[in-house]
Structure formats: C-alpha cells, structure tokens
Amino acid sequence: MGKLHIPEPEEALPGVELEDNQGLLQWISSVDHKQIGIMYLWMALFFMLLGGLGALLMRVQLAVPRNDLLSPEIYNQVFTMHGTTMIFLVATPAILGFSVYLSPLMIGANDMAFPRLNAFSFWIALCGGFLLYFSFLAGGAPDAGWFNYAPLNQRPYSPSPGIDYYCIGLLLAGSGTVATAVNLIVTVLKLRVPSMSLRELPVFVWMVLINSFLILAAFPSLNAALAMLLLDRQLQAHFFDIAGGGSSLLWQHLFWLFGHPEVYILILPAFGILSEVFQVFSRKPIFGYAFIVGSGMAIALLAFGVWIHHMFATGLGITVNGFFSASSLLIGIPTGVKIFSWLGTMWGGSLRFTTAMLFATAFLVEFTIGGLSGVSFAIVPIDWQLTDTYYVVAHLHYVFVGGSLFGLLAGLFYWFPKMSGKIIPEKQGKWFFWLFVIGFNMTFLIQHALGVLGMPRRVYTYPDLPNYTWMNMLSTAGAFIMGFSVLYLGFIIYKSIKSGKKAPDDPWNAYTLEWLTTSPPQLQNFKEVPPVKSFRPLRDLKQDNPNWQLQDDPWKID
C-alpha cells in the first residue's frame, strides 16, 4: 500500500524561522494551527475565570432575599457581562480552538488552508474580548443583558458607553469567527488526504464542517444588528427607536435569527467531540454514521426556522406562533436521534470510563434534561408561563454547561495528552469530574423549581416568598462547589504541563489520524499518511498491520 507524502506549507509559516523555544514571541507570531488552537483554549479558560467570577458575585447577591451587597446598577452589568462572556468569549473560542487544532490533524493536513487568516481571526477575537472588558474602565459595562433588547439598549435607557463597547467588541469577535468558518470550510473541502472521501470524514470534522456553514449564515444577522445599534446610539439613527419610527421587535428578530443558530453553533462541535470519545472508549464505530451526520445537517437547517420561540410572549398571533412551535418541536427529533445513536454506540461495547468518557456519559443525562426542558418552550402555552424565569436559566445552563461544556471537557481530557504531550493523572481528572457534576446539578436543578414558583430571571433581589430562600441558598452553595472545581481544573492542567508524565503518541488506542503523529505533534504534522478506507483510518492501519505495537496499554494510564 502506498503512503502519501504530505508537503509542508513552509512559505506560510513565518514562525518556522524562529527556534523552537522562543517563548511568547513565537506564540504571538505563530500561524501554526496547533498553537492558534491552543491559544483559543487559553483564551476560553481566561475568560471563563472572569465570567465565573461574575457568576459567583451574582450567586452571593442572590443567596438571601433583599440583599444589598451589590447595587442594581452593578448587578445588571455583572449578569450582562457573565452571559456575553460565556457565549462569545468562552464557548465560541473553545469550540473554534478544538476545530482549528483538530480538523487539519484529523484529515491528514499540515495546516489550515489560510494560516495567516487563522492567526488574524484569533487575534481579532481576543482584541474584541479585551475591548468589551475595557468598558468597565470607560464608564460602565453593558447592562441590558446578553441579548440586549431594544429599546433598553438605546441611549436614553443605557447612557453609559457599555453598549457601544458591546457592539464594537462583538463585531470584532464575530468577524474573526466568520473568517475562521471560511477557513475551516476550505480546509476540510480542499486539504483532505486525497483518499479520504466525505463519507470517511471523522464525525468531529463533519460537525465542524456543518457548523462552519451555520456560522456563515447566522453571524451576518448579528453583525448587521450590531452595526444598526451602533448607528442608533452614535448617529441618532432610528432602527430600534420607537419614537423615530423604528421597531423594538426588529432587534429581537435580527438577534434571534443569529441567536438560536448560535446555540447549535456551540453544541454541534461538542456533538462531534462526544462521537469520537464514545467510539474510542466503547471500542466500537459510531452507531449509524449516516444518521448522526444527517441529524447534524437537519439541526443546522432547522436552526434557521425556530427563532420566534424566543418571542412567543411578544403577542405575534396564533398562526406565527403555531408555525414556530412546530419547527421547534421538530428539532427535538434529530437531537433525540443523536442521544440514541450514542447509546447505541455504547451498547455491546467494551466501555472504558476514563475522565473523558465519564464526561461524555454524564453528558447524556444532563443534555437530555436540558433538551427536554427545551422542548417545553416549543409548546407555546408552557412557554407563556415559563419564559424569562429561572426555569429558563436552569434550561440554558443544562444546555450550555451540561451539553456544550461537558462535551468540551470530554474533549479536553481526551486530547490533552496529544496537545501537551503530558498525562493528566486519571485520579485527579475524576476528582474534578465528580466535584463539577455535583456542583453543577446542585446549582441549576433547583432553579427549575424557582421558575415554576414564579421567580423571574435577571432580578438583583427578591422578596422572601415561601421556599425562595433555601432554594437560592442551595443554588449558591452549588455554585461555589463549581467555582472551586474549576480552580482545581486550572491547577491540575498547570501541574500536568509543568511536571506531568510524558504522554505516548496514542494513549487511548484511538481511531483517527491525529493519534498517528507525535504527542505533541511537531510543526509538520505528518510526513506521510496511510490511505484512508473508513472514518477510522488509524484502526484500519492497526488491523492491516498485525504486528502493530501499542506504545502503552490504555489500561495502565494513570
């Protein structure tokens, strides 16, 4: 069998001229997709600490009724920045980080199609993040919530420059995201090993590809809305100003036409990660490859037909609401298909519960809870009761944390040996897993009940109604366990990088090409790649070579 030589795109790698260990300068000047991917992940972790700090401040304020620790002015800035940070500066960069790091490796390429654009996308996103946080020094952070409804986002109601920074910061970060999507699409379509047809694309790469089209279609709506809002605030345009003939509903349409696909943008690559993790640790191929890819496409298409379910309480009438109720209910089907595909993957397998697999397994339960509470918003009358309450807060955290973040953490523990060349001891990983799972459920499960009991979201305090106090106190206690576990995660990552055991190239006896190269991969990922015959090329290679020696027994990793 002929192995294919992979050329190194040298002229596109100015960082190459620097020696390996030139520290920060090398990172800053790098256009290597692996370094950029890792920088995305550091960016996500950094902003996660900031956003998490905001979350803890909120939970302290809400621990007891009629608390006056934070003024409403401060509280509203804190919750706005928490949401904006977690969506745009944590989840999005983390998703892009994995996509940019892994996609070329998994398709046997040596870099992205446009390495310089890749670096540009990252740095502009990071600058957008810093600019958003600069608003704290410039006279006040944005204070109208992460979805920033008109006309509350207009000058008369939010005179501080915070929302101007929100517009500019998110425009920058959003432009970076769009550029990365273009880059990923071209990379996946043009740089695959020639023998890898689309039917042999690893599931993760499929999800990245679908996701990139989703980004291309969704972000322009946000960027347009942000530009219009900036015009409103700076040049007295009247897009969203009612007195000037504008419409406050227009903002909601534009925002959610982006915002709902954004939810799927943040979960599809996590689905991809989980699919890889389930396969490797069940020792089986994904159950229903075509189904899992097809349902990803179905979700992406339906994503553009459901945005009104964020607006059921705006009084749009039965016909409109009914249509969007149907489309939103339908999206439950491909999502359910995925859950059962993963269960099918585990069924009959030989399950290895590493930390990565634990997160993937817990995901199945947490995400089912988040998915089911999501379906209740498609049922319009239930939405009329529960939208904009703590039930929504619980739901969205089960989706973003129990869904996206659990998937990302599974990915982090799965690929950490590849990215860093070091091992995180399983024992420490499992401690983190249990702390995080307990803290997370303690914080958010009870919030479903708070919503049912009538507590609206985004309140800086609440009266001492029956059951409110102990429920909020419990939630606050859970938040601190979560906060502690994230610090512990930072600690074990730091310690493993600093003084961890060296990782073998293929510690999990895995299936995809990234495990064929060294850990961490050298600048040139591959010198040669075997012909690809299925979506598990590395397994095929091992099967075809009966003498293949695993460098390490996956059972002994610890």
- Residues between 456 and 495 with contacts to another protein, criterion CB under 8 A: 456-463, 465-467
The one among 380, 396, 405, 516 contacting another protein by CB under 8 A:
380
The one among 6, 216, 351, 497 contacting another protein by CB under 8 A:
351
Name the 3-class secondary structure at 140: coil
Report in angstroms how near the CB of residue 517 gets to another protein at its nearest. Answer: 24
Largest CA distance in the chain: 77
Q: Which residues have C-beta within 8 Å of that of residue 100, sequence separation ≥ 6? A: 33, 36, 37, 40, 112, 118, 122, 180, 183, 184
Interacting span for another protein (CB under 8 A) from 150-158, 302-310, 407-415, 426-434? 150-158
In angstroms, the CA 398 to CA 445 distance is 9
Nearer to another protein, 288 or 425 (CB): 288
Name the 3-class secondary structure at 502: strand
Rg (CA), the chain: 23
In angstroms, the CA 60 to CA 54 distance is 10
Segment 399 to 418, residues that bind another protein, using CB under 8 A: none
Report in angstroms how near the CB of residue 344 gets to another protein at its nearest. Answer: 6
Report in angstroms how near the CB of residue 437 gets to another protein at its nearest. Answer: 14
Interacting span for another protein (CB under 8 A) from 205-213, 230-238, 342-350, 493-501? 342-350
Tokens encoding 419: 């990215």
Q: CA dihedral in degrees (61, 62, 65, 66; nearest 10)?
A: 40
Q: Which of 99, 89, 94 is nearest to 124 (CA)?
A: 89
Nearer to another protein, 119 or 437 (CB): 437
Nearer to another protein, 38 or 399 (CB): 399
The residue type at 291:
F
How would DSSP label each residue in 167-228? Answer: HHHHHHHHHHHHHHHHHHHHHHHHSS-TT--GGGS-HHHHHHHHHHHHHHHHHHHHHHHHHH
Number of residues that bind another protein (CB under 8 A): 86
The contact pattern for another protein, residues 247-266, with x = CB under 8 A and - = no contact, is xxx-----------------
Nearer to another protein, 117 or 449 (CB): 449
Interaction between residue 322 and another protein (CB under 8 A): yes
The one among 9, 305, 349, 425 contacting another protein by CB under 8 A:
349
DSSP 5: E
Report in angstroms how near the CB of residue 551 gets to another protein at its nearest. Answer: 18
Cis peptide before 520 (omega within 30 of 0): yes
In angstroms, the CA 529 to CA 538 distance is 10
In angstroms, the CA 82 to CA 507 distance is 37
Interacting span for another protein (CB under 8 A) from 21-29, 40-48, 322-330, 521-529? 322-330
The contact pattern for another protein, residues 73-92, with x = CB under 8 A and - = no contact, is x--x----------------
The residues with which 529 forms a beta bridge, in sequence order, are 4
The one among 72, 139, 194, 490 contacting another protein by CB under 8 A:
72
Report in angstroms how near the CB of residue 454 gets to another protein at its nearest. Answer: 4
The one among 25, 372, 487, 550 contacting another protein by CB under 8 A:
372
Tokens encoding 228: 């219009």
Interaction between residue 382 and another protein (CB under 8 A): yes
The one among 152, 182, 231, 435 contacting another protein by CB under 8 A:
152
The one among 139, 159, 454, 490 contacting another protein by CB under 8 A:
454
The one among 64, 449, 477, 497 contacting another protein by CB under 8 A:
449
Interacting span for another protein (CB under 8 A) from 123-131, 133-141, 221-229, 363-371? 363-371
